[in-house]
Structures are given as C-alpha cells and as structure tokens.
Chain A
Amino acid sequence: MGTCRVSVVFWQILVDGFAVSSLYALGAMGFALIFGVSGVLNLSHGALMVVAVVAAWAAGNDLHDDPYTGALIGIGAGFVATMITYFVIVGPLQRTQKIREEEKEIFILTGTLLWGIMIQEFIAYLYTNNAKTVAPIVNGVMSIVGVRTPKNELFTAIVCWLVIGGLWLLVNRTRAGKAVLAASMNPRGVTLLGIELSRIYIAIWAIYGLLVGVAGVLLGMFLGVSSYSVGPLTASAFSIVVLGGLGSVSGALIAAYVVGYLETITAYLISPAYRTIPALLLLIVVMYLRPRGFLGRR
C-alpha cells in the first residue's frame, strides 16, 4: 500500500509537472527571443498574456462565441496588444535621438512596466479584478499511467510543443529565421549584410505576439488568470529567462522545466503554500555560482 501510494504520487508529479512546465516554456520563450534579438526586457509581458485571456473569456461570455472562435479572438487580442506595445512604447524609445543610447534600456524597462500597469488597471476597470477562465476546447478526463488527467492538460502540452517545434524550425530552417538568429548574435553584422534591423524587429515582435496570444489562451484554459496575475506572470517569465541565460531560447526551455517540476514537487511533497520558494532559492544560487544562467552567452 505504501509503495503503491508513492508510485501514484511519482506519476502525478511527472504528468502534472509536464503540462505546467510546457506552459511556462511557451510563455517564457517569446520573452527570451525579444531579449536575445533586441535587448528589450518587456515588463508588460504578463499584461499582454492577461489581455489574451480576458479577450477569449469575453468572446465566450459576452459574444457567446464557441471555444474555437473565442480562442482565436484571444490569440488575436494578444497579438494586437503586443504590436501596439512595440509600435507605441518600445519602437519610439529605440529610435529617439533625445535619449542617450546607454540610457535607453532603463527607459524601455520603465515604459513597458508602466504600460503593463495601465493595461492591468484598464482590465480591472472593465472586467473587475476577479479571475477569469477560458472555456476549454477539449473537455473530460483520461487516464495516463493511472493518473486521472484532464484531456485539456494533454491538449495544452501538445499545443505548446507544436508551437515550440514550429519556432525551432522557423529559426533554424528558414532564411528569415537565420537572419533573426544572426541578429541576436551580432546586430551590427546583420546590418552589414544589408538586412534592415528594424524589419527583423517587427518580425520578431509579430512572432512574440503570436506566442503571447497562444500561451495566454492556454493558460486561461488550464489555470485561469486575473488582473492581479500581471506582475507574477512577468516575474515568472523573467526568472525563467534569467535562470536559462538571458537571451538563450533553449536555456529558457530547460529552465521552464526545471522551475515547473521544482514547483510541482514542492507542492506535492512539502506544501502547496511553499510552491514557488525553492525555484526562487535556485535562482539566487545560480546567480551566485553561474550568473550567466544555464546556457547564457553573456
């Protein structure tokens, strides 16, 4: 009986941790990509994900759309909000002559942080700060190695991996993707090759917008968010990216699984109340011993 219970918990951790980690990976990937290529730390990241969730929720409840249309509207809203962030907040700050180059980073940090707070307050004003969830596309449960798992959890993991795989193909197998990769390694070199850097920026923000939309809608179906989630979601992506190595997309992927499983193990074996603490301790340890993170280049 004892060993039986132990093995049940083991499989529960393995199955649940996988879904949560996949979602973390997808959420953090776009954040890592933007930093890797353009050096922008987008502190409105969490707000953009919440926009996608609330839009998908509102489409289902206010417009009575079916779950597929709702999900598409959510992804579209996340995409539009991300492009607005680039064209209204980040782009003008990158191009302006009025701010010295070395100070731009801090202006972009502050600008995106304030933008995130504005979105948060706006959502709370329109739809209250109570949590919202998106109606899942697949319902019901199934048994995976004896663990009763919602089909939606499996769906989440599959979609995350399809999108991550698609991103990998795009970056490594297409010409445009290789230009993006090159830009992340050496922005000046890319301009010397005659590729317009600003066009690369628009392209990666568009990719980021889609990632944010998909990750947001999946998060809304799986766990749900409120306007309060804006800060924690940004913080979670930020710490995963720092742990993985700033700017390294594959580092972020590994870090997402480390954090996801560490949290799940803590929740199951110690207490759900301490869920996030070990991952934060790990972050501090890594900062001391290996400040560039798992796979960081700088």
Chain B
Amino acid sequence: MRESKTRAPIFAGLLASAAFIALSAPGYAEDTFKIGVIAEVQAVAGSSIPQAAQLAADEINAAGGVNGKKIEIVTYDNHSSAAESVRAFQRAVNEDHVNAVIASYISEVVLALEPWAGRLKTVMITPGAASDVITQNIAKDYDNLKYTFHGYLTSTSLADSTCAAAKDLLVGQLHMKSAVVMSEDAAWTTPLDTEYLKCLPNAGLNILDHIRFSPDTTDFTPIFNKIEGEKPDVMITGISHVGVQPTVQWKQQEVPIPMLGISSQATNSSFWNDTNGATEGVLYQAVSGPDVAVTPKTLPFVKAFKAKFGNFPSYCGYTSYDEVYYLADAFKRAGSGDSDKLVTALEATDYVGTIGRIQFKAKGDPNPHALKVGPDTITGLMLQWQDGKQTNLWPAKVANGKLKFPKFIKVGAAN
C-alpha cells in the first residue's frame, strides 16, 4: 500500500518526462531546422558570427524557409573558453535539440568541440578557426569525426594565399628579397609557420629569422628592435589573439619595415579606431573585404549587415552567413535534419557564397572537409589599410587600389 503510494507519482513523472522527451526530440515535432551558434560574442571578430547567421536565417525564412520549415538560430556565448563551449555544445544538442552547430573562430575551441561533435553525432562547422589539425583529425578517424566541417581556410591555405600575394606585390612590384616571419605562439600558427617557411622562399623571399612570441606579449619593442637589426625588407605576420598592440607600437616606434600577412584583428572595420589610425599601411590577408565584390553575393550581404547591425561584418561574419545558407541547402537535399544524411549532403556542397565557391575536400584527402582553394573556388585577397579604409590590392582583377605606405616605412631602402 505504502509502496504503491510512493511509486505512483514517480511512475507518472517518468511517463510524463518520457512523453516530453519524445515530443521534443528531433524527428517528432520537427517544424523548424535549428542551428546552434557557439561564439565569442564579446570579441569583435566573434560578435559577427551569430549576427550574420541570424541575418541569413531571416532571409531564408522570408523566402519561405526550407521544405516549408523555418530556420531557427540559438546563440550561446562561450566567453572565448573551450570548457564553456563544450558545455554549450552539450546543451545545444541534448536540451535544445539543434540539428547542426556553427562554432567559434578559435582553433583551440574547435579542437575541443571536435570529439563532442562525433560523440553526440551532430554536424559542426567552424566559421573562423584555421588549424590544419581540425581536418587532419578527420582523416585519421573519419567514421567518428566526419561531423566536423571546416568552413574557413586552413592555416596552410592561409599561408599559401599570403605567399601568392607577396610574390606579386612585394617581389614583383617592390623587388623585395628578404623577410622575417613573426607569429604568435598558438595552435593555428604552427602549420601556418611551417608553410610560410616553405612558400616564402619559393615566392622569392629569403627568410632571415623566424620569431614566435607569447600571445600575452604587451611590449613589442624588443621584437621590433631585433627584427630591425636583421634588416629584412618585410615582416610576415601570423597574429590573431594580438593585433592592436603590435600595430600601435610599430607606428609609435616608427619601425621602418612594412608588415604583411595574417592579422585577423585588422580585418575588423573597427580596427582603425582601436589603433587610433596606427594601422595605416598594414597589409593583411583575408577572404573578404567591405568593398570587394568577390562574388555577386558579397556586397549585398555587407550592405544588409551594415543596415541591420550598424557595423561591417568581421571575417567570420561572411563565412557564418554562407554556412547557414549551405546548411539550409543541405537540409533541403537531405530531406531531414538527420546527422548522417546531413554529412553526406554537406560533402556534396557546391555553393557560391560571399567568399567564393564553397566545396569541401573529400574523404581520402589529407584534409577531408576542408574548403577547396584555388582560382575556381576561393583565392583569398590581400588588403591594405589606407586613410581609414580597407583597400583591396590583390588579386588584380578585384583590386581597388595600389600599395601605399606611411612616411616612416622605407620600402626598398634596406639591403
């Protein structure tokens, strides 16, 4: 008697929760496709990720959705922390029942999430991380890690794009001969530097030194002084966690050597204000720029983003926007939000987005699920900050300006 009294409510509770789980699980009450967005909302670069995703979802929904279903974006702020990202990923899958996740621009974060995408069998695409290890892991354990897609260039591709631009601009136009590689010590720069050391000499730049420094560095004076003593024609950068400080100190100390390379923070339109204009003359690689019509979709996206949020998108805003579109396309072709079908559909992606033509490298490649790069897909750009504007200089067919340096830079004087 006593037992049945206590058991009955527990049993009822179990039944109710089972019914609740059944109802809310994907496949039952699936009237939307849910995309979870885990991003560094407080960082300038990361803040564009959920905004651009929402913009894409609104546009798709306004045009009737996917197979009659709406796209819903659920955003989680990870405070730039891998641990918080893992918790957000678990919550997104287990409680919010998302069909796919767009996550982070930090390689360390994406590498922490990659096994979770496998364990929870949920598709994850990164709009901004670069480490080659993300896709190398997929090659080693395809069956478990196939749920991860790399929606931005790998570090090796970034280095190759930088070298190609350096060859045309620095060696071709300015007849430069030597360089020092200067990168922050982080997961994404290890493959970047390896490729720099290979591709720069091939482009015609002799490497005089290779400096790696802590991302916590605040005083860059010793680094600049050391590099200046070696008299290179150019400094090739690999910086993302730092950006404002080396740029401002470069200008303040009037280091007479130009900087060219990856400088993620320089891709943000707010970089001019953050550095009080010290970024004048800085050259940086990107896959997009506010005034560069990479594809017919680029400028309309920038315009819509600016109208809605008041600022220009960061580099991972472009990729995040594209990702929602080709995820929607994959949902349509897969016919459902089922993860394995979604993986197959994504692998067949052939979509022209804002940064170029999106195609993923196939299983069997050393970097499966990495973006294909090249003249037919994504070439990348080389932009320079000039008078408060991000001006594209390379490749020539989409260039809207010419090389220009502040007075303290002595191009061609060294050596």
Contacts and interface: CB of A to CB of B under 8 A. Distances in A.
Interface stretch (A131-139, A161-169, A188-196): A131-139
A59 to B, nearest CB: 12
Nearest to A151: B252
Q: Chain A contact residues (Cβ within 8 angstroms of B): what range?
A: 35 or more
A131 B252 contact: no
Interface string A49-76: 0000000000011000000000000000
Interface stretch (A82-90, A121-129, A170-178, A240-248): A121-129
Interface string B13-42: 000000000000000000000000000001
Contact of B219 (A5, A131, A135, A267): A267
Nearest to B223: A272
Interface stretch (B100-108, B272-280, B377-385): B272-280
B47 interface: yes
B185 interface: yes
Interface string B210-236: 011110111111110110010000000
Nearest to B218: A223
Given A61-B273, A273-B185, A133 B245 contact: yes
A249 to B, nearest CB: 25
A16 interface: yes
Interface of A: 5, 8-9, 12, 16, 20, 60-61, 124-125, 128-136, 139-141, 148-150, 152-153, 223-227, 229, 232, 263-264, 267-268, 271-273, 275-276
Given A128-B43, A133-B244, A150 B185 contact: no
A136 B254 CA distance: 14
13 contacts: A12-B225, A16-B221, A128-B42, A130-B274, A133-B245, A133-B274, A133-B275, A133-B276, A268-B226, A272-B211, A272-B213, A272-B222, A273-B217
B274 A131 contact: yes
Contacts of A5: 229
Contact of A148 (B213, B214, B220, B254): B254
B42 A272 contact: no
Interface string B117-133: 00000000000000000
A268 B219 CA distance: 11
Contacts, number: 101
Contact of B80 (A129, A132, A229, A273): A129
A148 B229 contact: no
Contact of A135 (B225, B270, B276): B276
Nearest to A267: B222
Interface in B152-193: 185
Given A152-B252, A223-B219, A273 B214 contact: yes
Given A8-B229, A267-B222, A275 B217 contact: yes
A42 B299 CA distance: 50
B202 interface: no
Contacts of A150: 252-254
B222 A16 contact: yes
B252 A130 contact: no
Contacts of B392: none
A264 B222 contact: yes
B218 A224 contact: yes
Interface in B263-285: 265, 268, 270, 273-276, 278
B328 to A, nearest CB: 29
Interface of B: 42-44, 47, 80, 185, 211-214, 216-223, 225-226, 229, 242-245, 248-249, 252-254, 265, 268, 270, 273-276, 278, 408
B308 to A, nearest CB: 18
Nearest to B244: A131
B280 to A, nearest CB: 13
A125 B42 CA distance: 6
A112 to B, nearest CB: 22
A263 B222 CA distance: 10
B158 to A, nearest CB: 20
Given A133-B245, A148-B254, A267-B219, A60 B214 contact: no
B267 to A, nearest CB: 12
B236 to A, nearest CB: 17
A224 B44 CA distance: 16
A202 B126 CA distance: 52
Contacts of A128: 42-44, 47
A136 B220 CA distance: 17
B219 A20 contact: yes
Contacts of B242: 131
Contacts of A130: 43-44, 243-244, 265, 268, 270, 274
Given A131-B244, A133-B244, A268-B225, A275 B214 contact: yes
A272 B217 contact: yes
Nearest to B45: A130
B254 A224 contact: no
Given A135-B276, A141-B253, A129 B244 contact: no
Nearest to B217: A272
A132 B245 CA distance: 8
Contacts of A140: 254
Contacts of A129: 42-43, 80
Contacts of B229: 5, 8
Given A61-B276, A130-B270, A131-B274, 6 more contacts: A124-B42, A128-B43, A153-B252, A225-B218, A268-B226, A273-B212
